[in-house]
Amino acid sequence: MRALFSYGLAFLILLLAGGWLASGTLVQGGQGPGNGEKPIISVIEGEEHGPIATALGDAGLLAEHHAPEIDPALTIAQRNEETTGAGAPLQAVRTQNYTAQAMPLDVPLRGRTQARATITAVAETAGAVDTVHVTKGQRVDVGDALCTLDQGTRTAAVAQAEAGIKQAEAALAQAQLNFDTNADLRDRGLAAANTANTAEVGLAQAQAGVTQAQAALDNAKAELDRTEIVAKVAGLVQDPLATQGSMLNPGSPCATIVQLNPIVFIGSVPEVHIGLARTGLDAKITTVTGQTVDGKVTYISAVADNATRSFPAEIEIPNEDFAIRDGVTAEAVVSLGTAPGHLLPQSVLTLDDDGVLGVRTVEDGVVAFYPVTIVSDTREGVWVTGLPAIAEVITVGQENVTAGQAVEASPSTEAAAETTAS
């Protein structure tokens, strides 16, 4: 008996729950406002007004729904504006005043480091390498010895040229003595006048002999000096490097020197910023290895790259300790100066119905929309241009209003806190 009562009670509860559900509404999304709603009992019966639906409707147990008359083409803000008639409360928004300030114009450039020059120290005379004074990776200064060639007979040639100088000087002394004696004899009438020409010719030949001997000595010394190959620039020794005992001809490399101080950053300036770019601008370079150093723009090409439509540029970087290497990927931020702009939180940026990026403000209780241009994105916010000098920017509720709509604006929490603090 108790089991029969329990089953009966459960069946009654199930019957009531089914009747309650049958009097409800089934909502199918994606069909527009009000188009996807129909009574559940109609779905069960397979028709809109079946006998059960009619009976429930006559008894007042069937839910009735009327599709709202809403144009699906309207935006959310326009729908809100339609439902807000005259005398209805105004849409509430939160605002904060932003004042234009000096906005840094920083242009990021991607590129790489490059040695200022790569110089090959070559032999100027032929000879076997007697000594190599440097090793790869060694730092050298101007005048440091790199290679010494076998001197061969060059030392003897210098000695012979020095002897030739002495011989020429002795001949000059004798010619000068003959010239002076001839002049004295002619003055006393003991020598004919036509002998003067012979004495002058002999003196001139002796002087030319001294000059020729001096030139021979200079050439011999220069040839001897060419056996010592020295660094003409400061830098770091790299391959190719000669080996001891190898034979070098004129033009053969002894060592290669890479100039790393100063080093150069190679990048490209986008054409949109080329009007502001100029040499002498300050720049900060950061390499992928974590090195940060300041530099200056030293070169901007007058011809754009055909592929990227950007202009090659060079930034000179001091590198006293050679810590920055050649060919390292780096990024440079070039400072182009400042311009008036607003620093805004990214959350206040919005789009109008045409998809234009901008900011909604409040002017005399009415919403205004200003298209803006993002200049740079920082951790503190985004720098934009296109706003009035002082703008009351909507920070909360900007997506629910449209330009020209009257609103009730109140200071945002941050603006109220700043006012209280001041």
Tell me which of 87-91, 279-283, 351-355, 410-414 is least confident. 87-91
Instruction: Taking residues 166-193, report their average pLDDT.
Output: 85
Residue 405: count of CB within 10 angstroms of its CB: 21
Instruction: Taking residues 76-84, report their average pLDDT.
Output: 58
The pLDDT value recorded for residue 418 is 47
Report whether pLDDT(62) > 60.
no
Instruction: Taking residues 203-218, report their average pLDDT.
Output: 91
Residue 64 is given by DSSP the state -
Tell me which of 88-92, 232-236, 323-327 is least confident. 88-92
The pLDDT value recorded for residue 26 is 53
At 241, give phi and psi (nearest 5°).
Answer: -130, 130
The pLDDT value recorded for residue 90 is 84
Pairwise CA distance, residues 81 & 400, whole Å: 9
The per-residue b/e assignment along 334-353, b for 16 or more CB within 10 angstroms, e otherwise, is bebeeeebbbbeeebbeebe
Q: Which pTM does this prediction carry? A: 0.57
Q: Tell me which of 271 and 36 has the higher pLDDT.
A: 271
The pLDDT value recorded for residue 100 is 93
Name the nearest CA neighbour of 92 among 368, 390, 395, 352: 395
- The secondary structure element, H or E, covering residue 284 is strand 282-287
Report whether pLDDT(25) > 80.
no
The pLDDT value recorded for residue 282 is 92
Pairwise CA distance, residues 354 & 369, whole Å: 12
Q: Tell me which of 171 and 82 has the higher pLDDT.
A: 171
Instruction: Report yes or no: 151 and 307 within 8 Å, Cβ to Cβ.
Output: no
The pLDDT value recorded for residue 419 is 40
Instruction: Taking residues 269-298, report their average pLDDT.
Output: 90
Instruction: Collapse the DSSP code of 32 into the 3-class scheme (helix H, G, I; strand E, B; otherwise coil) and give the result.
Output: coil
pLDDT in tens, 99-111: 999 988 888 899 9
The pLDDT value recorded for residue 36 is 55
Instruction: Taking residues 35-55, report their average pLDDT.
Output: 62
Peptide bond into 240 cis (omega under 30): yes
Instruction: Report yes or no: 108 and 331 within 8 Å, Cβ to Cβ.
Output: yes
The pLDDT value recorded for residue 422 is 41
Q: Could you tell me if residue 34 is left (phi over 0), alpha (psi between -120 and 50 degrees) or otherwise beta?
A: left
Report whether pLDDT(86) > 60.
no
Instruction: Collapse the DSSP code of 156 into the 3-class scheme (helix H, G, I; strand E, B; otherwise coil) and give the result.
Output: helix
pLDDT in tens, 110-124: 999 999 999 999 999
Pairwise CA distance, residues 417 & 29, whole Å: 44
The pLDDT value recorded for residue 420 is 39
pLDDT in tens, 345-404: 999 999 998 899 999 999 999 999 999 998 888 889 999 999 999 999 999 998 989 999
Instruction: Taking residues 236-249, report their average pLDDT.
Output: 92
- The secondary structure element, H or E, covering residue 416 is helix 413-421
Quote the mean pLDDT of the chain: 83
Q: CA dist 90 to 34, 87, 407, Å?
A: 27, 9, 5
Report whether pLDDT(182) > 70.
yes
The rounded percent of the chain whose pLDDT value lies above 90 is: 51
Instruction: Taking residues 16-43, report their average pLDDT.
Output: 57
Give the domains, in start order, of the chain with CATH numbers. Answer: 2-58 (no CATH), 91-102+340-421 (2.40.420.20), 108-114+260-338 (2.40.30.170), 121-146+229-254 (2.40.50.100), 154-225 (1.10.287)
Report whether pLDDT(32) > 80.
no
Q: What is the 3-state secondary structure (H, E, C) of 187-243?
A: HCCCCCCCHHHHHHHHHHHHHHHHHHHHHHHHHHHHHHHCCEEECCCCEEEECCCCC
Report whether pLDDT(18) > 60.
no
Tell me which of 2-6, 193-197, 200-204, 264-268 is least confident. 2-6
Instruction: Report yes or no: 165 and 214 within 8 Å, Cβ to Cβ.
Output: yes
